[in-house]
Chains A and B, each alone.
Chain A
Amino acid sequence: MAGPAVRFSGITRRFPGVVALDDVSFDVAAGSCHAVCGENGAGKSTLGKILAGLLVPDAGTIELLGRAVRFSSPRDALQAGVAMVHQELALCENMTVAENLCLGAIPARHAFVSRRRLHQRARELLTAVGADTDPGRPMSGLTVAEQQRVQIAAAVGIGARVIVFDEPTSSLAEGEARQLYDLIGRLTASGVTVLYVSHRMHEIFRLCDAVTVLRDGRHVDTRPIDGLDEGAIVQMMIGRKLDQYFPAHVAGAPGGELLRVQGLTHPGRFEDVSFTVRAGEVVGLAGLVGAGRSEIAQALFGLDPDAAGTVHLGGARVRIRSPRHAMALGLGFVPEDRKRQGLVLSLLARENTTLPTLHRLSRRGWIERRREREVAEQFFTRLGVRQTLMEAATSALSGGNQQKLVLAKWLAADSRVLILDEPTRGVDVGAKAELHAWIDRLASSGVGILLISSELPELLNLSTRILVLRAGRLIGEVERERATQDRLLRLMTGLASTEAVA
């Protein structure tokens, strides 16, 4: 092959308070799938965005197929044949699939949109990536996986030679992720170069030919994937040896029943869901995306007024009307989407930590600032977040630190039962290990935990037992000792019918 598809030379980019990329140089071979990995905040997404024209580097040059390019907007990049499939979806949700696909060139006749040709063109593009989505459907009605496919179809449709994927599987279920891997394989086989930003090891080994590791914005190394193993990459990413991703769970005998859910039903979302969580237990909740996991969590936290069924907390029957009420009853909820539901990004880090408990740190409505500081300091120390970040804007923190803040909120609230919905999504390896250790420690201290996760290894390592949800119904409960990835997957996807000891 003649020369690299992309050559980064001396790319540098600063943000307020951080150097996101510092003199990064490496080549991406044409037609390869090239992984860019590193911890959160290492600069990998920034690099992807620079290549796609979303960010302009402060210094350095990019060569595309041997020619120096300078993108000042995504439009420039698209014209040069570089497209990006985003981590957080970037499509017009209010428009149809077809309109989104042809946004740059809507077929028209005398300024009137030709719906027939629009849909025809869209169908062609979708077929090319193996999707059978109806082009007339509104974007907002699509699952994340389907939306992603539309993005890829759009990229292929404009004839992109280089496609940047930014953690594309972070909100996909296992099966959907596998379909994506196949598609990426087909893309590279047809000569498209893929820059694959991710920190998920198994994907990198499955998909990629070469890997570039970034740490603190600096280029650590670029190597062919052959001859590397997970341990070596992780070590490059964190700069030290990590004995294990997942610390072994210190199993203690579970205590008394904290949460009992019976016949929880919201027609169309979940039906007749019953389970219990005891003190010191981590109860895993597995299921494909769309199986109703988050919906159940939201119902328990008083966010679904239409859910029926009975809930007992600490032995007493309760009817949870609002998050406020749930909190007063000792329930904590780390939601799935920390930027939308977990944090107020415009507040300071300290202010987010004390948000649910501020009334306890005040006298007659006046904030007792010293006590607020002390509480925030205490949780920053306990969770291993630098004290200097207390007065930083929450939006400036790394994903891992942001997630620790969400957890800190509920620790400060002395929650007896914690619902964790994807607690380590988009969090780097180091922070993930710390969060896992925390979940374990919390359970050991007698908190009851309901853990929702799309990452089966996470569920397998942390849970005392795992409930499996399929299409809104609990179809099995697997004890820790008998739980394997294979068994769970079979239950989740319906390959195995039931496994009932609930």
Chain B
Amino acid sequence: MLTLMAGSHVDPLTHQTVNNFLNKYTLLQMATDASGFAIMGVGATIVIIAGGIDLSVGAIYALAGVTMAMVLRAAGPMGTVPTVLLGLGTCIAVSLLCGLANGVMVIGLGVHSFIITLGTMWILRGLAFVTSQAESILVPNVLTNVVRAQMGLSEGLYPVPMLVMFVVTALGAVYLSRTVMGRHVFAVGGNPEASRYAGLNVKRVTLGVFVLSGLSAGIAAFLGAGFYGSSTSSDANGYELYVIASAVVGGASLSGGKGSAVSAMLGAMLIVVIRQAIRTLHLDQNYEWIIVGTAMILAVVIDQSGTKLLSRRLAAGRAASRSM
């Protein structure tokens, strides 16, 4: 997602066009492309499991990105470590505040999160626009050097976004499966009333998931701005839908109570792979949206019918074993 580059890849060493789908450049590039969707997809999955939805992640991404770029510009040239710390700190602080605002409004105003975050999607995008005055702001090279670190790989390969994606996914998975908060997220999404009757603090859980979703957008914004070397208020426009698509392709249920961080990452990868395949196979790029949309619906339908098929087989199996 980070790039909307042409489909075929130019090998930096031989300067030949590589059209092979399964080469390390394409694979790593796809992982890099998927990283932003996947990182925000983990946040979105957590919100969706809790029974909510967050449409504002694209706008949080843009606001965090431009704020970071402006803060770094104002701070002037610094060493690598202070630049990264200040940049990441700014992104995280902005995104946490945005997530907190979403959460506070959802629980305080008693309005469905779809509406609240639809509102903040525009508000935050507007804030990004106003603060940056629609200007594209460069971020220091030292930051780009970190995000585009080669880590011993050959030229043209940038593994950092992918590695961060793996780490965020792992953290999300552990949060959901091993922590009390994670269990509470599943409970509240499954049945908020029963959760309240069981003594859970439903409001705190709701607040928490929006903060985490915001945070995931902040991390993605840091990587995106670093990777491209600049930020503008129109960054990540429309990404919220890709992010939600990643979560639901990964099996998250919009009615709450069901979902997985690892599957959300795989969902993001699937979407990027499909897009990449369209380019590699030289299909008419005008069909890209039609194919992505169809694939998303199919993926969810197959996932659902697969679950049904499996449970029916289990039923038949048990019936057979019982009659013996």
Q: Which A residues lie at the B interface, using CB under 8 A?
A: 14-19, 301, 303, 322-324, 326-328, 333, 335, 340-347, 351, 355-356, 358-359, 362, 365-367, 369, 409
Please give the distance in Å from B283's CB to the nearest CB on chain A: 40
The answer to whether B187 touches A327, judged by C-beta atoms less than 8 angstroms apart, is no
Interface: B287 (CB within 8 A): no
* Bound CA span A355–B197, Å: 10
Q: A14-B319, A366-B179 are in contact. Are A323 and B258 (CB under 8 A)?
A: no
Q: A18-B318, A340-B191, A344-B257 are in contact. Are A333 and B186 (CB under 8 A)?
A: no
B195→A344 contact, CB < 8 A? yes
A346 near B190: Cβ-Cβ < 8 Å: yes
Q: Contacts A14-B315, A326-B199, A362-B180 given: A342-B190 contact, CB under 8 Å?
A: no
Interface residues of B in 183-226 (CB under 8 A from A): 183-184, 186-187, 189-191, 193-201
Q: How far is the CA of A342 from the CA of B197 in the complex (A)?
A: 7
**CB-CB nearest 10 A-B residue pairs:** A16-B311, A346-B257, A346-B190, A327-B199, A344-B190, A324-B199, A344-B191, A356-B198, A14-B315, A355-B198
B positions within 8 Å CB-CB of A: 178-181, 183-184, 186-187, 189-191, 193-201, 256-258, 311-312, 314-316, 318-319, 322
Min CB–CB distance A407 → chain B (angstroms): 13
Known: A17-B318, A367-B180. A355 touches B200 (CB 8 A): yes
Contact B191 A323, beta carbon cutoff 8 Å: no
Residue pair B197, A341 in contact (C-beta under 8 Å): yes
B194 and A344 contacting across the interface, CB-CB below 8 Å: yes
Contacts of A16 in B (CB 8 A): 311-312, 314-315
The distance from the CB of B291 to the nearest CB of chain A, in whole angstroms, is 33
- Which residue of A326, A345, A359 contacts B190 across the interface (Cβ within 8 Å)? A345
- Tell me the minimal C-beta distance from B292 to chain A in angstroms: 29
B193 touches A340 (CB 8 A): yes
Q: Smallest CB–CB gap between A211 and chain B, Å?
A: 26
Highest count of chain A CB atoms <10 Å: which of B184, B186, B190, B316:
B190
Chain B nearest Cβ from A279, distance in angstroms: 22
**Contact (Cβ within 8 A) A19 B181:** no
Q: How far is it, in angstroms, between the C-alpha of A17 and the C-alpha of B312 when the chains are bound?
A: 8
Majority DSSP secondary structure for residues of A touching B: mixed
Q: What residues of chain B lie closer than 8 Å to A19, measured between beta carbons?
A: 315, 318-319, 322
Nearest-neighbour CB distance to chain A for B31, whole angstroms, equals: 30
Check A341/B194 contact, CB under 8 A, given A323-B199, A324-B200: yes
Chain A residues lying within 8 Å of B315, measured Cβ to Cβ, are: 14-19
For B314, what are the chain A residues with a Cβ–Cβ distance below 8 Å?
16-17
Query: Whole-angstrom distance between the alpha carbons of A19 and B323 in the complex?
Result: 10
Residues of chain B lying within 8 A (CB to CB) of residue A362: 179-180
Give the distance to chain B from A297, nearest Cβ to Cβ, in Å: 11
Across the interface, A333 reaches (CB within 8 A) one of B187, B195, B197, B316, namely B197
Check A367–B178 contact: CB distance below 8 A.
yes
Chain A contacts for B190, CB-based, 8 A: 344-347
A366 to chain B, nearest CB (A): 6
A14 touches B257 (CB 8 A): no
Chain B min CB distance to A302 (Å): 9
Asked if B195 and A355 sit within 8 Å, CB to CB, the answer is: yes
Give the residues in chain B near A367, CB-CB below 8 Å.
178-180, 183
Residue of A nearest to B201 (CB): A324
A491 → B minimal CB distance (Å): 30
* Contact, CB under 8 Å: B180 / A365: yes
Contact A351 B183 (CB under 8 A): yes
CB distance from A436 to the nearest CB of B (A): 23
Whole-angstrom CA separation of A351 from B184 in the bound complex: 10
Q: How far is the CA of A367 from the CA of B174 in the complex (A)?
A: 11
In the complex, chain A residues whose CB is within 8 Å of the CB of B196: 303, 322-323
B180 near A359 with CB under 8 A, answer yes
Q: Please, which residue of chain B has its CB at the minimum distance from the CB of A216?
A: B322
